[in-house]
Amino acid sequence: MDFLVDDSKLVFGFYLISYNLDSKGEILFKMNFNNKEVPETRTAIGNIQRYTSSAAFGEVFTPSGDNKPTNLRISYVSNTAGKINTSTDDYNFSFGAITLPPGSVVKRFNSNKIEIAKSDEFSLINDFNLNIKNDSGKPKHYMIMYTLSFMVNSNVYLKSRIKLNNTSEKTTDSYLGSVAEIGVHNGKVFSLMPGDNKVEIEYKYDGESLSIADTTNNKYVQSIYAFSFPDDTIIHNFKLEKPVTLFTNGDWKPMGIDGKLNLSSKKTALIIYHINIKTSQKLFKARIKINTKFNKKSIILTDGLEYAYTQSYVVKVLKPGNYNLDIEYSSLSKNVFTPELAEVNNESVFLQVVLLD
């Protein structure tokens, strides 16, 4: 995808890819921006057949002055053949970018070594954190993200989430497993107070202890990163507040998120939706619905995993008017999502709408 950037901009790029391999296998995705790899977008997943991979990045880009378009590309490696039939309601191959006024971008990569030890309780990844300094003198919105991608060589589970300023952000709970390769991308928009803000990653893990020190392997990455939004950005937060029976017998049903918007002017909406629901290895699909129409580029699916987990991005230009946003889903799981038990079960469903001029 080529697009023109005429002056210095903060570029937010993302991809959302749901696919079906012919059999259980390994697949890895990453994004290239302006003909350079963006390492924090590397995601890998192993011993899985149907799944949805996603990632995102923020970069300040200043064009060289030759008036040439810049570009986004998706690269992948897979040891198993498969397909992405986007003419159906199951699969999706979408990626894109939005440009914002230049802002703060901070990143932390595993540049030495991190330790992942077996843990039945949430533990911190030691010596792996990101400091975000908000020097604006007032609260400011930041998109905070992390990617954990590494080889484990045996089927394991990994639960992880953001810890911000010593507070566990339980709405960012993620559960991946059991898989033979880890690839987790996660994130959320937070309002950060002036001064220093510390981002850490908490995790639970049932595999053998790992010392991850190979920072040159271009298949994997461990990173925490963030960027700031313009001051006039408006954030709407919605969450699922009532119990939902997951089994739909193949039909699509609304979750019942009351995502109402009333816009007096045209806005670019960055829609972030996060699902982490126990499905007990059954098929689960979801998509964004705006008023009466679903968004084709928002389709996700998972199958064969204990939890349906996805961190998804959709961009939509909204004209002035009234909107109701919801998440539709289709599932074969007999489980029930209960908001009152979400923290106990490490489950989470939220929808963020970032409105930009």
Instruction: Collect all residues with Cβ–Cβ distance below 8 Å to 172 and sequence separation of at least 6.
Output: 161, 162, 186, 187, 188, 274, 348
CB of 1 within 8 A of CB of 95? yes
Looking at the structure of the chain, the number of domains it has is: 3
State whether 308 and 346 are in the same domain: yes
- Point out the domain boundary residue: 203, 228, 253: 228
State whether 241 and 208 are in the same domain: no
Q: Which amino acid is at 114?
A: I
Name the residue range of residue 320's domain.
234-356
State whether 78 and 137 are in the same domain: no
- Point out the domain boundary residue: 228, 243, 265: 228
Residue 214: predicted pLDDT: 63
Q: Is the peptide bond before 209 cis (omega within 30 degrees of 0)?
A: no
The vertex-285 CA angle with 14 and 43, nearest 5°, equals 35
Give the number of other CB atoms < 10 A from CB of residue 48. 24
Render each residue's pLDDT in the chain as its tens digit; 357 residues. 988 888 999 999 999 999 999 999 999 999 999 999 999 999 999 999 999 999 999 999 998 877 678 899 999 999 999 989 888 888 999 999 999 999 999 999 998 889 999 999 999 999 999 999 999 999 999 999 999 999 987 899 999 999 999 999 999 999 999 999 999 999 999 999 999 999 999 999 999 999 998 665 678 999 999 999 999 999 999 999 999 999 999 999 999 999 999 999 999 999 999 999 999 999 999 999 999 999 999 999 999 999 999 999 999 999 999 999 999 999 999 999 999 999 999 999 999 999 998
Residue 296 phi, psi dihedral angles, 5° rounding = -60, -35
The vertex-55 CA angle with 124 and 311, nearest 5°, equals 70
